[in-house]
Amino acid sequence: MSSTFSGYYVARSGIQAARSNLQITGQNMTNVNTPGYTRQRVDTSTVGPCGSNMRYASSEIGIGWGVNCDGVSQLRDPYLDIQYRMKNAEAGNTGTVSDILNDLENIYDETKKDGITVQFQDFIKQLNSLASTTTSYNEDSVKGSARLLVSAFRNAAAQLSGIRDTQTKQFKDTAIPKVNGLLDTIANLNKEIKAADVSGSPALELMDKRNSAIDELSQYVNIEVSSQSVDVGSGRSVSELHIDLVSDGKKFNLVSDDSHNTFGTATAADGTINLTLTDSKGKDVTYDGTNILSNKDITEGSFAGYLTMLNENGEFDAAGGSERGIGYYQKVLDKLASYFADTMNAANSTTSDINKPLFTQSDGTTTTGITAANISLSEAWAKATDRYITATKQTSSSGPDDPNHNENILSMVKKLSDTKTFTTNDDNVGGTTLFNASIQSYISNISVSILALQKNDVDRKDTTFNSTLNEIDTKRSAVSSVDVNEEGINLIMYNQALTASSRFMTTMDQALDTIINNMGIVGR
Mean pLDDT of 212-219: 96
Residue 143 has pLDDT above 70, yes or no: yes
How high is the pLDDT of residue 64?
A: 79
State which amino acid sits at residue 273.
Answer: I
Look at residue 427 in the predicted model and tell me its pLDDT: 77
pLDDT score for 56 = 60
For residues 500 and 14, the answer to whether their CB atoms sit within 8 Å is yes
Residues 302-341 have pLDDT tens digits of 999 999 999 999 888 877 667 899 999 999 999 999 999 9
Helix (H) or strand (E) holding 225: strand 223-233
In which band, very low, low, confident or very high, does the pLDDT at 144 lie, cut at 50, 70 and 90? very high
pTM to 2 decimals?
0.87
pLDDT digits (tens, 9 = 90+) for 341-375: 999 998 888 766 678 899 999 887 766 689 999 99
> b vs e for 437-469, b when ≥16 Cβ sit within 10 Å of the residue's Cβ?
bbbbbbbebbbeebbeebbeebbebbeebbebb
pLDDT of 399 > 50? The answer is no
Query: To the nearest 10°, the Cα dihedral for 99, 103, 104, 107?
Result: 170
For residue 282, the 8-state DSSP code is S
Q: Which of 213, 203, 211 is closest to 181 using CA atoms?
A: 213
Q: Is 216 a residue whose pLDDT tops 90?
A: yes
Q: Using pLDDT thresholds of 50, 70 and 90, give the confidence band for residue 48.
A: confident
How big, in percent rounded to 5, are the helix, strand and coil portions of the chain? 50, 15, 35
**Poorest-confidence range of 18-32, 74-88, 184-198, 365-379?**
365-379
Q: How many CB atoms lie within 10 A of CB 493?
A: 14
pLDDT for 1 equals 46
The pLDDT confidence band at residue 398, using thresholds 50, 70 and 90, is very low
Residue 373: alpha-carbon gap to chain centroid: 30
- Tell me the average pLDDT of the chain: 88
pLDDT of residue 397: 44
Distance CA(185)–CA(202), nearest Å, equals: 19
- pLDDT value at position 449? 85
Q: What is the mean pLDDT of residues 68-76?
A: 90
The average pLDDT across 22-46 equals 93
For the segment 485-493, the average pLDDT, to the nearest whole number, is 94
Instruction: With CA atoms as reference, report the closest residue to 406 among 392, 418, 395.
Output: 392
Question: Does 224 score more than 70 pLDDT?
Answer: yes
Q: φ and ψ at 441, to 5 degrees? A: -100, 10
Of 100-109, 240-249, 419-428, which range is least confident? 419-428
- Tell me how far apart the alpha carbons of residues 75 and 29 are, in angstroms, rounded to a whole number: 15
Residue 404 has pLDDT above 60, yes or no: no
Question: What mean pLDDT comes out for the span 34-63?
Answer: 77
Mean pLDDT, rounded, for 473-487? 93
d(CA 258, CA 136): 84
pLDDT-based confidence at residue 237 (cuts at 50, 70, 90)? confident
The pLDDT of residue 389 is 87
Give the pLDDT score at 58. 59
* pLDDT over 60 (residue 395): no
pLDDT of residue 407: 83
Q: If you average pLDDT over residues 459-478, what whole number do you get?
A: 95
Amino acid identity at 124: I
Q: Is the pLDDT of residue 61 over 90?
A: no
pLDDT recorded at residue 385: 84
The whole-number pLDDT of residue 57 equals 59
Using pLDDT thresholds of 50, 70 and 90, give the confidence band for residue 266.
very high
Angle of helix 302-311 relative to helix 140-169, nearest 10 degrees? 140
Query: Phi-psi region for residue 364, left (φ > 0), alpha (ψ -120 to 50) or beta?
Result: left
- Percent pLDDT > 70 in the chain is 91
The arithmetic mean of pLDDT across residues 43-52, rounded, is: 78
Lowest mean pLDDT among 5-14, 282-291, 305-314, 394-403: 394-403
Which DSSP string corresponds to 369-434?
A: ---TTTEEE-HHHHH--S--S----S--TT-TT-TT--HHHHHHHHHHHS-EEEESSTTSSSS-EE
pLDDT of residue 400: 44
Contact at 8 Å (CB) between 21 and 39? no
